[in-house]
């Protein structure tokens, strides 16, 4: 390589710039050798050669410039960062490349060579600084103006295509390498307009005029073509594509593949082999191809003409045939197909550039241009707008079609929020079409076009892209707001492709089915599709029917289970198993039948007995999604699916084991959801506990414990740990004793893992187990778990600490439950030392990051509630208690996230429940009340205000509130909070204002029912000042009836009245004792409120 550089330097030294003919030859040599040998030029030689070329450009005649620029392009290729000092000469205001690439440059070859050099300068080199901003914008503008220019009659078509291609590559480099963020509307609009123009460049039968810039708009922007012209071009396009699609497929595909091979020879020379392989794929075994489905295309009869063995001739000379059977003579045909190939390269370049642009534009900005690129249903009499789907349906090159689909996929990715506004309005009798209806019709049109493309496509790579694009659309469309039927069409049309010859098509078809069962699950439409008998939709597709469905229950035999589903008492809805479930299980567990394509060879599996690994992994993923979204459907096969998961975990391939563990976790979680207290599933529809016990017995006797103990793969251990934590508590208590001990021992052991992922999963699982009724009363288990969790709470990984804090919160919840159910026996047995350790660790954790903090404060509240008088009297505890209280108070006042502050308010409320703490006497009491009073008045988040009002209403005795001054401060704060309960800048908070008022009214009545004579003057003062406002809120509170407030406590109407009456009687008694010394009449005010309430109630009843 050094020899090449030395040779070139020597040649330049020998040739003086006045010997122009030789200069031209030397430059050709530089260009040829650097491209041929892919030489990396070192900096010293690069400097010399660049100086030579730049001087030559300045001094030599214009006829040499093209060759010099070609040499320059080869030199700067991937050397941009080393060319810094030459940039002013090349890209400055009067830089050479800027001049030569100017739109006024008459010599197109020269302009193209300059643009190419500029594009090569824009290539980024990893780890090296990128072009300065000023040079970037010069290049961007140059490339943009090239793309905006029109071809003049004197310019050769192919040269013009190459010029466009170089400019597109340049823009793509700027977007990718420069991590360029497109911000200004005019810049985005201009770029998208030229990309739209170029992505249709030379597309047969289509001539479109794109405006100079596109503007973001909520309504579709139609292409500016006269309807007459439009119809003619549409007709021409239809004839063109009609011919391409409808002629004998054997004939047509030859042309297409031939073209595709040549089309890419410039980029990579290995396309021809691929083309031949793909032909073999398409023509080799037509019988089992989904295209032989009579529903899809009757015209396919001509796919392989009878009586001729065309395959051999195709494989040997597919390239030659492509042009000889075309409509042109050989010479003319050669030029024509070369030009078509260059035009297709421009379209591909534009689409690749568009893909990079999508990554550089914020999604919400991009969706302003939705209507320019995504099809919308044409209005009556108006033409169909051209869009990415036009290319996907009509472009003759499969590679270009695939590129268009990739771009569409990228636009659809992450579009859930944008599409969520879509809605199918039934009445279209409006003067205008609402935006929601426009988007809904666009979604429908996308479904229609993609399904059309699916039926018409014959290139496997492009088919894969169509199916991936459909999967992206399905994942983001708001089906619950659209008329049903869309998913049914997708479902029915994708079924035959499950048995396609190409494994990639099969994998993406499964991905699409996975998207259908996971989108907004459970959807009634999908529920119906899953209940369809497995034969429907396949029986009329001839030999395309998946081979494995013939042996209808084969997988049942392949998966022995302890209990046949016929005995399964719960949820057995259909006699025939779900089609999708059977399909996926059979792909996972049944040996493959040897009818797989050559592309399977790319996927060596551990044992070639089974289907290719990607196919099995995708099937397992679909099963997991099916179990997650439609558990009621999957529960009939609960034990079988457990067996499938076990089999997968016994295999050698870690990725199959991992997906087996994930399936196991979904099965466990599905049962947990059914048994939740708020579950809508009737008890007789749930998986019976006895079946769940059988399930976990099999799992624990199977590969799960071994995986947890020995697996070298951390991700797999993590998943296995998550699976083990999804066991139903009622089933756990019925497991054999040694299996219960095994689970606990495994988790306690994994808590010492070196790997943070595994350690975090183990800490979380312990937090689940500590809530199991049969374990939480075991003091030894609670102590072991506490020690393990505290160990993880000091881990260096923030994720481990966050999970450990959550588990500590759960563990302290069980302390409270045990205290309430088992009384003192548990408290006395629990180690004081461990309790002190928990208090200190939780205090420390409350200063950690928010994810740890939110559960640390929850744990603090519980531990402080749990403490006994003898703990509080113990000097060793005193300092820890003081510190923990200060931590809680400062968290309430802090600027932490709302969840943290919410938990801190809740924790203080818990603290107030402990009668052993010196509430009202200790100095921290004042600080706690002051913090809560401040939050209840001014916190932006209403849920935090609700929790603080609740905490303020917890102390049960007047002395707990301390002095009259402190009591009155709390009272006044609550009155202010009540009046501010509707003031919010955030509309989302408004929905909590009724709950907030309910909580504040409860707190005020609670305070009134405890008030002493010394508190009355201030209470009376606020009543005289704000009496009317308070009265209206209290009346509303009394009227609002049975309402579930934030705490989940149900206070019925009579209860609310009773509290108010109680407070009135209490105050009336105190006021009588004062014997008129004070003119305070709070009780009279409250009686008035009660009277008003009674008369309002009578009116309503009347």
Q: What is the DSSP string of 233-246?
A: HHHHHHHHHHHHHH
**Long-range residue pairs from 851-855, CB within 8 A, at least 24 positions apart, any chain:** 851/798, 851/802, 851/805, 852/793, 852/798, 852/801, 852/802, 852/805, 853/805, 853/891, 853/896, 853/900, 854/805, 854/897, 854/899, 854/900, 854/903, 855/802, 855/805, 855/806, 855/808, 855/809, 855/903
Are residues 911 and 865 in contact, defined by beta-carbon separation less than 8 angstroms? yes
DSSP 249: H
Tokens 């209470």: give the residue.
1019
Mention every residue, 6+ apart, whose C-beta is less than 8 A from residue 954: 909, 912, 913
Burial class of residue 457 (count of CB atoms within 10 Å of its CB; 0-12, 13-18, 19+) = buried
DSSP 865: H
If you write DSSP's letter for every residue of 553-612 in order, what string do you get? THHHHHS--SS-GGG--S----SSPPHHHHHHHHHHHSPPPS---GGGGGS--SSTTSSP
pLDDT digits (tens, 9 = 90+) for 176-209: 876 677 777 778 899 999 999 999 999 887 777 8
Q: Is 984 helix (H, G, I), strand (E, B) or coil?
A: coil
Mention every residue, 6+ apart, whose C-beta is less than 8 A from residue 995: 942, 946, 1045, 1046
CA-CA-CA-CA torsion for 321, 323, 325, 330, nearest 10 degrees? -120
pLDDT at 330: 58
User: What's the CA gap between 960 and 954, in Å, rounded?
Assistant: 10
Are residues 1042 and 1035 in contact, defined by beta-carbon separation less than 8 angstroms? no
Conformational region of residue 1048, where left means phi above 0, alpha means psi within -120 to 50, and beta covers everything else: left
If you write DSSP's letter for every residue of 348-407 in order, what string do you get? HHHHHHHHHHHHHS-HHHHGGGHHHHS--PPPTTSPPPP-HHHHHHH-S-HHHHHHHHHH
User: What's the CA gap between 80 and 69, in Å, rounded?
Assistant: 15
User: What's the CA gap between 424 and 419, in Å, rounded?
Assistant: 12
pLDDT at 298: 34
Q: The tokens of 981 are what?
A: 């309960």
Mention every residue, 6+ apart, whose C-beta is less than 8 A from residue 53: 27, 30, 68, 71, 72, 75
User: What's the CA gap between 811 and 776, in Å, rounded?
Assistant: 9
pLDDT digits (tens, 9 = 90+) for 762-821: 999 999 999 999 998 888 999 999 999 999 999 999 999 999 999 999 999 999 998 888
Q: The tokens of 937 are what?
A: 């008045």
Bridge-partner residues for 11, per DSSP?
none
Extract the residue ranges of the chain whose pLDDT is less than 70.
Answer: 1, 178-179, 217-332, 379-384, 425-430, 534-576, 594-608, 985-987, 989, 1041-1053, 1075-1080, 1097-1102
User: What's the CA gap between 888 and 908, in Å, rounded?
Assistant: 7
User: What's the CA gap between 991 and 154, in Å, rounded?
Assistant: 69
Strands (E), 129-227: none
Q: The tokens of 37 are what?
A: 């040998």
Q: The tokens of 521 are what?
A: 């699950």
Going by C-alpha positions, the residue among 509, 112, 63, 53 that lies closest to residue 346 is 112
Mention every residue, 6+ apart, whose C-beta is less than 8 A from residue 176: 124, 356
Tokens 């009836």: give the residue.
1041
User: What's the CA gap between 951 and 857, in Å, rounded?
Assistant: 14
Are residues 283 and 310 in contact, defined by beta-carbon separation less than 8 angstroms? yes
User: What's the CA gap between 775 and 744, in Å, rounded?
Assistant: 10
Q: The tokens of 127 are what?
A: 């780890």
User: What's the CA gap between 269 and 841, in Å, rounded?
Assistant: 65
Question: Torsions phi, psi of 612, nearest 5?
Answer: -55, 145
pLDDT at 1101: 61
Mention every residue, 6+ apart, whose C-beta is less than 8 A from residue 477: 419, 422, 443, 486, 519
CA-CA-CA-CA torsion for 50, 53, 54, 60, nearest 10 degrees? 170
Which helix (H) or strand (E) segment holds residue 1050: the answer is: strand 1050-1051
Alpha carbon of residue 961 to chain centroid: 49
User: What's the CA gap between 244 and 239, in Å, rounded?
Assistant: 8
Mention every residue, 6+ apart, whose C-beta is less than 8 A from residue 569: 688
Mention every residue, 6+ apart, whose C-beta is less than 8 A from residue 203: 343, 347, 390, 391, 394, 395
Going by C-alpha positions, the residue among 821, 720, 827, 834 that lies closest to residue 773 is 821
CA-CA-CA-CA torsion for 1039, 1041, 1046, 1048, nearest 10 degrees? 160
pLDDT at 1053: 58
pTM across the whole model: 0.79
Are residues 31 and 71 in contact, defined by beta-carbon separation less than 8 angstroms? yes
User: What's the CA gap between 532 and 509, in Å, rounded?
Assistant: 19
pLDDT at 535: 54
If you write DSSP's letter for every residue of 475-503 in order, what string do you get? HHS-GGGS-TTHHHHHHHHHGGGGG-SSH
Chain length of the chain: 1102
User: What's the CA gap between 812 and 867, in Å, rounded?
Assistant: 11
Q: The tokens of 355 are what?
A: 């893909």
Q: The tokens of 924 are what?
A: 């921290």
Question: Torsions phi, psi of 71, nearest 5?
Answer: -65, -40
Whether a cis peptide bond, with omega within 30° of 0, leads into 522 is yes
CA distances (Å), origin 595, targets 284, 498, 598, 612:
11, 13, 10, 12
Q: The tokens of 663 are what?
A: 């399936």
Are residues 846 and 885 in contact, defined by beta-carbon separation less than 8 angstroms? no
Angle, helices 43-59 vs 20-37, to 10°: value is: 140
């Amino acid at each position: 390589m050094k020899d090449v550089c030395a040779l070139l330097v020597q040649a330049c030294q020998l040739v003086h710039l006045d010997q122009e003919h030789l200069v031209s030859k030397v430059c050709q040599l530089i260009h040829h050798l650097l491209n041929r040998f892919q030489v990396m030029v070192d900096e010293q030689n690069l400097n010399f050669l660049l100086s030579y070329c730049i001087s030559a450009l300045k001094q030599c005649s214009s006829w040499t410039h093209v060759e010099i620029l070609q040499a320059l392009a080869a030199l700067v290729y991937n050397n941009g960062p080393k060319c810094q000092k030459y940039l002013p000469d090349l890209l400055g205001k009067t830089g050479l490349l800027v001049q030569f690439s100017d739109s006024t440059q008459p010599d197109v070859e020269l302009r193209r060579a300059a643009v190419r050099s500029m594009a090569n300068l824009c290539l980024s080199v990893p780890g090296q600084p990128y072009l300065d901003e000023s040079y970037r914008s010069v290049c961007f503008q140059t490339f943009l103006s090239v793309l905006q220019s029109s071809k003049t009659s004197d310019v050769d078509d192919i040269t013009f295509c190459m010029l466009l291609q170089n400019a597109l590559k340049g823009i793509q480099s700027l977007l990718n390498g420069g991590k360029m963020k497109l911000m200004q509307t005019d810049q985005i609009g201009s770029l998208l307009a030229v990309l739209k123009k170029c992505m249709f460049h030379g597309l047969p039968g289509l001539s479109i005029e794109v405006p100079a810039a596109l503007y973001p708009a909520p309504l579709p922007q139609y292409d500016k073509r006269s309807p007459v012209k439009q119809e003619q071009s549409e007709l021409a396009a239809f004839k063109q594509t009609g011919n391409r699609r409808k002629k004998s497929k054997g004939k047509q595909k030859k042309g297409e593949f031939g073209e595709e091979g040549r089309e890419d020879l410039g980029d990579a020379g290995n396309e021809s082999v691929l083309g031949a392989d793909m032909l073999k794929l398409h023509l080799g075994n037509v019988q089992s191809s989904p295209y032989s489905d009579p529903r899809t295309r009757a015209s396919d009869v001509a796919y392989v003409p009878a009586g001729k063995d065309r395959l051999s001739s195709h494989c040997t000379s597919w390239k030659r045939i492509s042009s000889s059977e075309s409509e042109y003579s050989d010479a003319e045909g050669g030029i024509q197909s070369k030009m078509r190939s260059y035009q297709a390269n421009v379209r591909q370049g534009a689409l690749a550039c568009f893909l990079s642009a999508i990554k550089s534009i914020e999604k919400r900005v991009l969706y302003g241009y939705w209507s320019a690129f995504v099809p919308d249903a044409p209005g009556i009499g108006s033409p169909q707008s051209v869009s990415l789907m036009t290319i996907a349906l009509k472009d003759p090159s499969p590679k270009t079609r695939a590129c268009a689909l990739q771009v569409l996929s990228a636009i659809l990715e992450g579009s859930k929020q944008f599409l969520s506004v879509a809605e199918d309005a039934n009445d279209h009798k409006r003067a205008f079409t609402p935006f929601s209806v426009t988007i809904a019709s666009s979604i429908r049109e996308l479904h229609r076009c993609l399904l059309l493309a699916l039926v018409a496509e014959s290139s496997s790579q492009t088919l894969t892209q169509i199916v991936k694009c459909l999967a992206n659309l399905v994942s983001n469309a708001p089906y619950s707001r659209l008329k049903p039927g869309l998913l049914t069409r997708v479902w029915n049309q994708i079924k035959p492709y499950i048995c396609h010859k190409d494994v990639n098509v099969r994998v993406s078809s499964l991905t699409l089915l996975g998207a259908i069962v996971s989108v907004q699950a459970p959807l009634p439409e999908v529920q119906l599709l899953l209940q369809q008998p497995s034969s429907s939709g396949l029986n009329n597709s001839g030999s395309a029917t998946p081979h494995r469905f013939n042996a209808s229950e084969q997988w049942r035999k392949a998966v022995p289970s302890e209990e046949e589903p016929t005995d399964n008492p719960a949820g057995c809805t259909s006699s025939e198993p779900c089609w999708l479930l059977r399909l996926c299980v059979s792909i996972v567990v049944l040996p493959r039948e040897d009818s797989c394509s050559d592309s399977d060879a790319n996927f060596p599996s551990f044992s070639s007995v089974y289907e290719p690994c990607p196919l099995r992994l995708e099937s397992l993923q679909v099963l997991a999604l099916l179990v997650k979204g439609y558990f009621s459907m999957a529960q009939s096969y609960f034990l079988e699916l457990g067996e499938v998961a076990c089999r997968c975990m016994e295999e050698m391939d870690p990725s199959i084991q991992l997906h087996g563990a994930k399936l196991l976790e979904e099965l466990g979680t599905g049962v947990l959801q059914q048994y939740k207290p708020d579950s809508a599933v009737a008890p007789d529809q749930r998986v019976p506990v006895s079946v769940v016990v059988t399930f976990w017995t099999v799992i624990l006797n199977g590969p799960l414990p071994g995986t947890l103990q020995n697996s070298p793969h951390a991700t797999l251990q993590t998943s296995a740990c998550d699976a083990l934590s999804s066991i139903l508590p009622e089933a756990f208590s019925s497991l054999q004793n040694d299996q219960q001990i095994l689970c606990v021992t495994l988790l306690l052991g994994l808590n010492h893992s070196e790997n943070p992922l595994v350690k975090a999963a183990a800490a979380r699982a312990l937090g689940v187990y500590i809530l199991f009724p049969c374990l939480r009363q075991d003091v030894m288990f609670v102590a072991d778990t506490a020690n393990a969790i505290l160990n993880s709470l000091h881990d260096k990984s923030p994720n481990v600490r966050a999970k450990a804090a959550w588990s500590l919160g759960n563990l302290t919840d069980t302390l409270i439950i045990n205290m309430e159910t088992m009384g003192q026996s548990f408290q006395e047995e629990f180690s004081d030392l461990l309790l002190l350790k928990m208090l200190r660790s939780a205090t420390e954790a409350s200063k950690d990051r928010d994810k740890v903090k939110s559960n640390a404060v929850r744990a603090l509240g519980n531990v402080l509630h749990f403490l006994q008088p003898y703990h509080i009297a113990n000097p060793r505890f005193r300092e820890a208690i003081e510190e923990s209280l200060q931590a809680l108070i400062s968290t309430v006042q802090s600027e932490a996230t709302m969840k943290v502050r919410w938990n801190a308010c809740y924790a203080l409320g818990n603290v107030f429940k402990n009668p052993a703490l010196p509430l009202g006497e200790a100095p921290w009491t004042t600080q706690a009340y002051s913090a809560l009073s401040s939050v209840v008045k001014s916190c932006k988040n209403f849920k935090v205000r609700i929790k603080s009002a609740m905490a303020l209403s917890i102390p049960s005795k007047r002395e707990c509130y301390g002095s009259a001054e402190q009591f009155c401060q709390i009272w006044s704060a609550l009155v202010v909070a009540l009046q501010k309960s509707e003031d919010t800048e955030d509309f989302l908070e408004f929905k909590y204002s009724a709950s907030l008022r309910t909580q504040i009214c409860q707190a005020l009545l609670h305070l009134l029912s405890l008030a002493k004579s010394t508190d009355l003057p201030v209470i009376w003062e606020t009543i005289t000042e704000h009496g009317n406002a308070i009265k209206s809120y209290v009346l509303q509170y009394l009227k609002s009836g049975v309402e579930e407030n934030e705490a989940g406590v149900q206070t019925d109407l009579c209860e609310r009245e009773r509290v108010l009456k109680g407070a009135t009687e209490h105050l009336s008694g105190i006021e009588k004792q004062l014997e008129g010394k004070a003119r305070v009449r709070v009780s009279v005010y409250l009686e008035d409120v009660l009277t008003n309430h009674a008369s309002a109630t009578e009116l309503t009843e009347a």
